[in-house]
A and B are shown apart, each in its own frame.
Chain A
Amino acid sequence: MTNSHPDGVLPASFRDPSGFLFRHQGRLLRQVNARYADDLALLHDSGLYDVLIAKELLIPHTDAPVDTAPTPGAVRVLAPELVPFISYPYEWSFTQLKDAALATLRIQRLALKHGMSLKDASAYNIQFHNGRPVLIDSLSFTAYRTDEPWVAYRQFCQHFLAPLALMAHRDVRLGSLLRTNIDGVPLDLAARLLPWRTRFNPGLMMHIHLHARSQQKHADSHDEGNSAKAKTTKVTRKALDGILDSLRGAVRKLRWQPGGTEWGDYYEDTNYTDTSLQEKRDMVAGFLDQTESKLVWDVGANNGYFSRVASEKGILTVASDIDPTAVEKNWLACRRGAEPHLLPLVMDLTNPSPGLGWAHTERDSFLSRGPADTVIALALIHHLAISNNVPLSRLAEFFAQAGKHLILEFVPKNDSQVKRLLASREDVFPDYHLEGVEAAFGDLFEVKEKARIAGSERTLFLFKRRAGVNE
């Protein structure tokens, strides 16, 4: 659960003086301050709100009683539709970030057509909701003022264009720079890391390389000449359309082709025959039916084959994997199939997303966004216990924090995948066996189901967290 201050104000919601999010009697609400009253009225009166809702680009909101506002100065209180699981840009695959970027530009173009403009272009304001990127901050719009440059241009380039360019032109793993830089990838860093040939790409040349140079040149904010230049820069509406078109072209041209990796073709190279794969799927489905889940985390989900057991039942399923290729494939499949209940994310479970930002509270850690009703961990335990040396008892503690139920596949030492892990190292895991797992998990979980998966040496468990544990 997201942390909040005693007055209910969400700790991440402090940057924009227009308003903030708070919790009130279990509901997530947004206080709108007086300074934003005119812009909010314009959002509705201009027709922009209705257009964005119709196009599923903005999270809908209704009005809540203004006396629920926790601080003075409120003119309205909004009740936005709840996004059940918040994810962050450093957890998105390449195309997820690209889709979020294009959605932001599309919103900005529509805003301009209605006499408004985005005053921020933070990737954190976009969430994947019902399988689509949507803007979750209704207070992001301001009245467009004639000939004003786009105030969020720098933020758009830092949050979207720079990381996408680095992922496409240098290495897809550089998306993780968004984790170390809370306000996006600094453009001078992006310019240094990008291959020299990107200077021949007009979009990247202008919006990253020249942009970075301009930032460097005008870095001295105490220089009166610099601040005068900022105040006198004029961008006509037509020229602004041109800039947005150029940004859109630059983003659309960025492509990353998932290459064959260790895990990319996992389901084409497993220890299962088609029959036993189907049987395992049926077993997972049967176990899941006993849990009455609304939120499932499938950790080590690969391309989401088993995640779909849950998501196709209408359960919101977060399908995380360490491999950007697998997650990319999963997201591309989600888009093709328009799957509203599946959210693929890049996540290294041995080093999951921490709490980040001011006082560690602006971006929630992975675990604090739980617990899930059910965690699915298939063909994963050997990677955590053997490759990463995590004792089984510590694994049990982690899973007891992560979910109320756990569907766990145990992969024994005589399985070829485990043999491969142990081939090049000493076996220092005397407790790694079926009885060892039951003993390690027994204090925190009760075994609801336990069954051998036909055609393999593996065992599938359904664990239920014991009453009183992490409640």
Chain B
Amino acid sequence: MKKFQTPKSSLSLCALIVLVLGMWPAAAHAYIDPGTGSFVIQGIIAAVVGAGFAIKVFWHKIVSTFTGKSPAENDDDE
């Protein structure tokens, strides 16, 4: 199925300049070291791809109303 593609190239450039850090008090429970840098970059990437992913899901819902097919956001999940 042809999928809606978000303009990720431009979004990734935004990642360089966007820094969104919220407040979250609890420490991670993990036996492996998640890595500070890996946590911080997730916060940044989340701001970039989260919006794009929301648009993608929304688009799939629109497409599905016209095609009658279920949203293919996760084509292999139930």
Residues of A at the B interface (CB closer than 8 Å) are 15-18, 51, 106, 109-110, 113, 119-120, 142, 145, 147-155, 157, 200, 202-203, 205-207, 210-211, 214-219, 221, 226-227, 229-236, 238-243, 245-246, 249
B37 to A218, Cβ gap below 8 A?
Answer: yes
Digitize B52-63: 1 where CB-to-A-CB distance is under 8 Å, 0 elsewhere.
111010000000
A229 to B36, Cβ gap below 8 A?
Answer: yes
Question: Which single residue of chain B is at the shortest CB-CB distance from A15?
Answer: B31
B49 to A239, Cβ gap below 8 A?
Answer: yes
A243 to B32, Cβ gap below 8 A?
Answer: no
Nearest-neighbour CB distance to chain B for A218, whole angstroms, equals 4
B68 at the interface (CB under 8 A from A): no
Nearest-neighbour CB distance to chain B for A420, whole angstroms, equals 47
B41 to A211, Cβ gap below 8 A?
Answer: yes
B35 to A215, Cβ gap below 8 A?
Answer: yes
A229 to B39, Cβ gap below 8 A?
Answer: yes
Q: Known A-B contacts: A152-B30, A216-B37, A232-B24. Give 9 more (CB < 8 A).
A: A147-B22, A154-B33, A157-B38, A206-B48, A215-B41, A236-B46, A239-B50, A245-B49, A246-B45
A15 to B46, CA, bound (A): 29
B64 at the interface (CB under 8 A from A): no
**B contacts with A, residue count (CB < 8 A):** 46
A151 to B26, CA, bound (A): 13
From B9, B22, B46, give the contact of A243 (CB < 8 A). B46
B8 to A217, Cβ gap below 8 A?
Answer: no
| A149-B43 in contact given A229-B36, A234-B22 (Cβ < 8 Å) | yes
Nearest-neighbour CB distance to chain B for A346, whole angstroms, equals 27
Q: Hey, which chain B residues are within 8 Å of A232, CB to CB?
A: 21-25
A364 to B25, CA, bound (A): 41
Question: Which single residue of chain B is at the shortest CB-CB distance from A209?
Answer: B12
A307 to B41, CA, bound (A): 46
Residue from A110, A142, A152, A235 with most neighbouring chain B CB atoms (10 Å): A235
Ranked nearest first, the 9 interchain pairs of A and B with the lowest CB-CB distance are A242-B53, A239-B50, A239-B46, A215-B37, A234-B22, A154-B38, A202-B8, A214-B41, A214-B37
A51 to B34, CA, bound (A): 27
A206 to B46, Cβ gap below 8 A?
Answer: no
From A106, A231, A234, give the contact of B77 (CB < 8 A). A106
Of the A-B pairs whose beta carbons lie under 8 Å apart in the complex, a sample of 12, sorted by A's number, is A145-B29, A151-B28, A157-B38, A205-B15, A210-B41, A214-B41, A215-B36, A217-B37, A218-B40, A230-B34, A240-B46, A249-B8
